[in-house]
Amino acid sequence: MREVAVIGVGMTKFGELWDMSLRDLFVEAALSAIKSAGTDSIDSIYVGNMSGGQFVGQEHLGPLMADHLGLGGVPAARVESACASGGMALRSAYLEVASGMSDLVLAAGVEKMNDGADVTGVLATASDQEEEVYYGVTFPGLYAMIARAHMEKYGTTEEDLSWVSVKAHRNGAKNPHAQFRRVMSLEDVMTSSVVAEPLRLLHCSPVTDGAAAILLCPLDRASEFTDKPVKILASGAATSSLTLADRADPADLDVVELSGNRAYEMAGVTSDDIDVAEVHDCFAIAEICCCEALGFVEKGAGKDAAKNGVTDLGGKIPVNVSGGLKSKGHPVGATGIAQAVTVIEQLKGEGGEVQVEGAEIGLAQNMGGSGASSVVHIFQGV
């Protein structure tokens, strides 16, 4: 395996982007990544996308996006793993460069969710249609059950969940790309409408349009394209049951622990070595579970992490300095790439108002379904 570096990144604004189509979003982010690397030669493209088919009626995104980038002829395909589609697209691109098959490979994630589709219904296809959706559960409902199991097992409270959202918005208010650039108080969160008990609206990530892109090349060629390459130390992925009922314990996200441990082993680092992390906070409870599963805090201590500042800027391990999925927005297929973009910018010292001083090693964790798939990438500034 060759060592692989990130040589360019790009992303659109996240939000309700009524004037932009699925392809417009993709092209803007991809061109930005390609431009930042100063090249016009791309060998291969992976498109991270959960459900173009259901959101806007468009499949076959590989050739569509290659054509619209002016790169007709280049191999291109869509990668899907529900909300982990972006992370899995990045993994695919990484593997293609690491294998020696190609040199310049683009991984770009995109989702157009605000175009009239039944968003709740489309997202629910990431859970088990026959065993879960059939009986009337929603996606927030599944995470609500994880939250209630966590409360039962570890004593987590609704206030603990709410501090995660407060932290997310405090960070996201400083992120020019974020969908909701505003601070939220604990009271705002705890008085928002109930979606699925115990989760309220402000414990849930929003419906978002957006795209993000990353350009990779072999580390030994990176200096041709950038003064600040960032090395990919590891890619770890894992799967679990789609059904929440078939997990060993619904209070823990085993799939995140498995993917994280694979990434730590490959990188030769531990959770203590991580200086900054973006984790998949599609719901407030998910950030708590992910921080535990990745070893940032002990099992059961995740509930106090946001409240006590452990995961805040200046804390032991700053988590979701971008504002996370909660405040930045969650265009599902783009999220995994956007998380990586944030970590890469941090390692280059380009984190702006939310820069973690001296950050050398960073982690991005992207999850699909109610914890059925997870992919972790670990990066290091060069």
Partner 1 sequence: MPSPRYHREIPARYRLEAGKCSDCGKVLYPARKVCPACRSQEMEKVNLSPKGTVVTSTVIHVPPDEFLNEAPYAMAVVETPEGARFMTQVVDCDPATVGPGMELDLEFRLIQKEGNSGILCYGHKGVPA
Q: Is 250 in the site for partner 1 (CB under 8 A)?
A: yes
Which range binds partner 1 by CB under 8 A, 32-40, 197-205, 294-302, 322-330? 197-205
Q: Is 113 in the site for partner 1 (CB under 8 A)?
A: no
Member of 18, 73, 116, 130 binding partner 1 (CB under 8 A): 130
Length of the chain: 382
Q: Is 118 in the site for partner 1 (CB under 8 A)?
A: yes
Member of 103, 131, 254, 304 binding partner 1 (CB under 8 A): 131
From the candidates 177, 203, 280, 330, which is the catalytic residue? 330
Q: Which is nearer to partner 1, 79 or 133 (CB)?
A: 133
Task: Order across the sheet with 76-79: list the strands.
Answer: 76-79, 44-48, 105-111, 210-218, 4-11, 230-239, 373-381, 361-368, 276-278
* Residue 207 beta carbon to partner 1: minimum distance, rounded to whole angstroms: 12
- CA 144 vs. chain centroid, Å, equals 20
Number of other residues whose CB lies within 10 A of the CB of residue 245? 11
Which range binds partner 1 by CB under 8 A, 11-19, 51-59, 246-254, 333-341? 246-254
> Is 330 noted as a catalytic residue in this protein?
yes
* Residue 231 beta carbon to partner 1: minimum distance, rounded to whole angstroms: 36
Q: Which is nearer to partner 1, 15 or 198 (CB)?
A: 198
Q: Which is nearer to partner 1, 1 or 245 (CB)?
A: 245
Q: Say if CB 258 and CB 238 are below 8 A apart.
A: yes
Closest-CA residue to 205 (of 82, 331, 325): 325
> Can you list the positions of beta strands (E) in 198-266?
199-200, 210-218, 230-239
From the candidates 68, 83, 204, 291, which is the catalytic residue? 83
Closest-CA residue to 107 (of 94, 95, 83, 90): 90
Which range binds partner 1 by CB under 8 A, 21-29, 119-127, 162-170, 334-342? 119-127
Q: Say if CB 380 and CB 231 are below 8 A apart.
A: yes
* Residue 159 beta carbon to partner 1: minimum distance, rounded to whole angstroms: 18
* Residue 260 beta carbon to partner 1: minimum distance, rounded to whole angstroms: 21
Member of 59, 159, 187, 246 binding partner 1 (CB under 8 A): 246
Q: Which is nearer to partner 1, 59 or 152 (CB)?
A: 152
Q: Tell me how far apart the alpha carbons of residues 278 and 272 are, in angstroms, rounded to a whole number.
A: 15
Peptide bond into 176 cis (omega under 30): no
Q: Tell me how far apart the alpha carbons of residues 243 and 101 are, in angstroms, rounded to a whole number.
A: 36
Q: Which is nearer to partner 1, 66 or 199 (CB)?
A: 199
Phi-psi region of 128 (alpha: psi -120 to 50; beta: other; left: phi over 0): beta
Q: What is the DSSP letter of 12?
A: P
Which of positions 176-195 make contact with partner 1 (CB under 8 A)? 193-195
Q: Is 124 in the site for partner 1 (CB under 8 A)?
A: yes
SS3 58: coil
CB contact set of 24 (below 8 Å; sequence gap of 6+):
none
* Residue 130 beta carbon to partner 1: minimum distance, rounded to whole angstroms: 6
Q: Is 136 in the site for partner 1 (CB under 8 A)?
A: yes
Q: Which is nearer to partner 1, 101 or 194 (CB)?
A: 194
Q: Name the token pair of 131.
A: 């065993």
38: exposed, middle or buried (Cβ count in 10 Å: 0-12, 13-18, 19+): exposed
Q: Which is nearer to partner 1, 24 or 115 (CB)?
A: 115
Which of positions 138-177 make contact with partner 1 (CB under 8 A)? 138, 140-141, 144-146, 148-149, 152
* Residue 206 beta carbon to partner 1: minimum distance, rounded to whole angstroms: 14
Number of other residues whose CB lies within 10 A of the CB of residue 118? 10
Helical packing angle, 139-154 and 284-293, nearest 10°: 60
Sign of CA dihedral 328, 330, 334, 338: positive
* Residue 239 beta carbon to partner 1: minimum distance, rounded to whole angstroms: 11
The residues of the shown chain that bind partner 1, judged by CB under 8 A, are 118, 120-121, 124, 129-138, 140-141, 144-146, 148-149, 152, 193-199, 241, 243-246, 250-251
The residues annotated with a catalytic role in the active site are 83, 330
